[in-house]
Amino acid sequence: MDESDPLFRVIPEDQLGLDPLSGKPKIAKEVLEGMRMYLMVADGPEKIARIERIRKSLRDLENDPIGQKTMLRLEPMPTVTNDLDKGKGIVFNFEQKKEVAHKPEKLMASAISAGVRVLRSGKVVTALLDLNEYSGSTQSGLLMEGSTGYSASFFETNASRTTLKKPKSRRRPETYTRKANENVLSEEIRLRGRR
């Protein structure tokens, strides 16, 4: 620092230069420029008071490495967190996988949980038969209706294993009939277009 600099003999020599550990300046250029402007504005006793304030703040920061980083070098304050995955993006959690491997589900438990998932999915589920009416039944009477109109259903059986209710069949014409109707419709549309 040359003698014409307002900070000459204000900042101790050990505070100037590069930090040997990080290779960065011990005091950032912006901070030095701010100190210079702070001193150049004042004259006389006010300038002496400002020099003392700068020296005192530098002495206060000598034994405070975090203060030196944040105030003198203008580096962000170090953050301490217990969340090891913070800022890492998508992190896979393998703990759940280990728990499943240690506790295999029983057959009925997986069937019940699958039923719960179907109920939560929002599909229409209605009861076909009242379980109290048929005490000899072995299965529940649920009908799950999909978006295509096709329904998968479970039917009640009595003790003699005869079905109490027959499944409804789809009333859809055969492929040959559908294609023939399609050809007739397209022919009618074509003829109407000529008129």
Nearest in space to 8 (alpha carbons), one of 51, 58, 72, 38: 51
Cβ 28 vs Cβ 22: under 8 Å: no
Has residue 7 been placed in a domain? no
* Domain termination site, one of 23, 46, 72: 72
Q: Which residues pair with 126 in a beta bridge?
A: 143
Structure tokens at 22: 């990080």
Cβ 58 vs Cβ 11: under 8 Å: yes
* Mean pLDDT value across the chain: 76
Has residue 1 been placed in a domain? no
At 141, the pLDDT band (50, 70, 90 cuts) reads: very low
- Does residue 116 sit in the same domain as residue 195? yes
- Does residue 116 sit in the same domain as residue 68? no
Other beta carbons within 10 Å of 181: 11
At 140, the pLDDT band (50, 70, 90 cuts) reads: very low
- Does residue 118 sit in the same domain as residue 195? yes
- Does residue 128 sit in the same domain as residue 179? yes
**Domain boundaries, position 192:** 112-195
pTM across the whole model = 0.42
Has residue 100 been placed in a domain? no
Q: What domain count does the chain have?
A: 2
Residue 49: C-alpha distances to residues 26, 35, 39, 53, 179 (Å): 24, 13, 10, 6, 99
Average pLDDT score over residue span 75-98:
73
- Does residue 124 sit in the same domain as residue 182? yes
- Does residue 55 sit in the same domain as residue 117? no
Within 86-164, strands assigned E span 124-127, 142-145, 151-153
